[in-house]
Amino acid sequence: MDFLNGLVFLTNFVIIPAAAYGAQLALGALGITLVYAILRFSNFAHGDTMALGTGITIKLTAVLVAFGITLGPLPTALLALPVGIAATGVILLVTDWLVYKFYREQKAKPVILVIVSLGVMFVMNGLTRVFFGVRDIQFADGERFLITVRQFRDMTGLDEGLAIRTTQAITLVTAVIVMTALFWFLNKTRTGKSMRAFSDNEDLALLSGIDPDRVVRVTWLLVGALATTAGVLYGLDKSFKAFTYFQLLLPMFAAAIVGGIGNPKGAIVGGFLIAFAEVTVTYPLKKVLTYWLPDSMAPEGLVQLLSGDYKFAVSFIILIIVLLFRPTGLFKGQSI
């Protein structure tokens, strides 16, 4: 019984939150990795793209709610999400046309594109701040819980409860759907295959008649969809604040690089790896160990290895270790 209680506690406070967070990171890292694979630069504006897409979706949600349209038990934001994705896609296409296209045609060095993406980051951050403000915005409506602690206890008779928030369940379900669709697209459709060919060898792809502009356009649309979805899910799960999205850049990049940058599978594995490491290391595990260890060995302290503020350190250390010992990442990524 003690073992089960410990397991339930661990699931409630570590495994479920880390899985939801990992799914959000993975979706974000997929966007970064796609830009890297096709456009061949590290996109520092990705966090702020997420923020902008989420901001647009929040405004649309507010309009829907004002007209009395809701999704019942589900958050209304899911209804606004497709429109938010479309708007973000258009913004990214315009950005590419105004900004990135010039450097692509010049065949500028990747580091120049990174600096250009810093400029885009500033602009997107500014737009988010001007139009959506800098305050915390909660926009999750509908049912809060799928299962509450009390229901779970009544159901199982255990001491510890397990709560699953609606937003966590939605995150996981959406992430699975989006990832499946993405892999189906990349592996089965003609456009997806042409993207992979373009990523593997640009010259050969051009030679076989693949239209590079089309590949780039499709990439930005996919990136817009992934970024907005990741941002909205993160915002539903926690809250929306312009600044926190910028801070997601580090764990997302860590996830993409750890998995092998340019490799979509790696981005997903990396996202979950970073999330589980972060949550496990910064959560006080005292109660779990008290359940699992014999009484004589029960810990006195909180067994919180690092305080929550140091969560960046976790993704950073994993990143550095991988870069030093396996620079191409866990799955073989690209290295240009």
Partner 1 sequence: MTDTLRTGLFAGLVVALIVGTGVLDNWNLALIIVNYGLISAIMALGVNLQWGLAGLFNVGVMGFVALGGLAAVLISMPPVPEAWAAGGGQVLGALAIGAAVIAGLIAVYKRTAGRVRVIAMVVLGIVGFFLFRSVFDAGVQAIEAVNPASTGFLGGLNFGGDSGRDWPIMAVIAWPVGGMLAAGAAWIIGKTALGLRSDYLAIATLGIAEIIIAILKNENWMSRGVMNVIGLPRPVPYETDLQADPDFVATVTDLGLDPTLASTLWVKLLYSGLFAAFLIVLLILAQRALHSPWGRMMRAIRDNEVAARAMGKNVTARHLQVFIIGSAICGLAGAMMTTLDGQLTPAAYQPLRFTFLVWVMVIVGGSGNNFGSVLGGMLIWWLWVAVGEYGPDLMIWATAWMSDDSAFKANLVNSAPQMRFLVMGTVLLLILRFSPRGILPEK
Nearer to partner 1, 210 or 318 (CB): 318
Residue 165 host element (H or E) = strand 164-165
Which one of 41-49, 141-149, 153-161, 191-199 is the stretch in contact with partner 1 (CB under 8 A)? Answer: 41-49
**235 conformational bin, left if phi > 0, alpha if psi -120 to 50, beta if neither:** alpha
| 116 forms part of the interface with partner 1 (CB under 8 A) | yes
Nearer to partner 1, 74 or 123 (CB): 123
Q: For residues 85 and 166, is the Cβ–Cβ distance under 8 A?
A: no
Which one of 5-13, 156-164, 184-192, 302-310 is the stretch in contact with partner 1 (CB under 8 A)? Answer: 302-310
C-alpha dihedral sign at 40, 45, 47, 49: negative
Residue given tokens 């959506």 in the structure block: 132
Burial (CB count <10 Å: 0-12, 13-18, 19+), residue 201: exposed
330 Cβ contact list (under 8 Å, min separation 6): 258, 259, 260, 266, 269, 270, 322
Closest contact distance (angstroms) between CB of 138 and partner 1 is: 17
| 94 forms part of the interface with partner 1 (CB under 8 A) | no
Residues in binding contact with partner 1, number by CB under 8 A = 49
| 97 forms part of the interface with partner 1 (CB under 8 A) | no
Nearer to partner 1, 85 or 248 (CB): 248
184 vs 181, 192, 215, 223, CA distance in Å?
Answer: 5, 8, 16, 16
- State which of residues 21, 41, 220, 276 lies at the interface with partner 1 (CB under 8 A): 41
Closest contact distance (angstroms) between CB of 114 and partner 1 is: 6
Interface mask toward partner 1 for 232-251; x: CB under 8 A: -----------x--xx-xx-
Alpha-carbon gap, residue 287 to 159, rounded angstroms: 12
Closest contact distance (angstroms) between CB of 25 and partner 1 is: 14
Nearer to partner 1, 129 or 193 (CB): 129
Angle formed by the axes of helices 16-39 and 249-259, to 10°? Answer: 70
Interface mask toward partner 1 for 117-156; x: CB under 8 A: -xxxxxxxxxx-xxx-xx----------------------
Nearer to partner 1, 207 or 324 (CB): 324
299 vs 3, 160, 285, 289, 295, CA distance in Å?
Answer: 16, 19, 9, 7, 9
Which one of 8-16, 166-174, 273-281, 303-311 is the stretch in contact with partner 1 (CB under 8 A)? Answer: 303-311
Nearer to partner 1, 115 or 298 (CB): 115
Alpha-carbon gap, residue 161 to 178, rounded angstroms: 30
Nearer to partner 1, 246 or 276 (CB): 246
Q: State the DSSP code for 145.
A: E
Which one of 8-16, 113-121, 174-182, 192-200 is the stretch in contact with partner 1 (CB under 8 A)? Answer: 113-121
Start-to-end C-alpha separation, the chain: 53
| 93 forms part of the interface with partner 1 (CB under 8 A) | no
- Using CB under 8 A, list all residues that contact partner 1: 41-42, 44, 99, 102, 110-112, 114-116, 118-127, 129-131, 133-134, 243, 246-247, 249-250, 253-254, 257, 301, 305, 307, 309-310, 312-313, 315-316, 319-320, 323-324, 327, 335
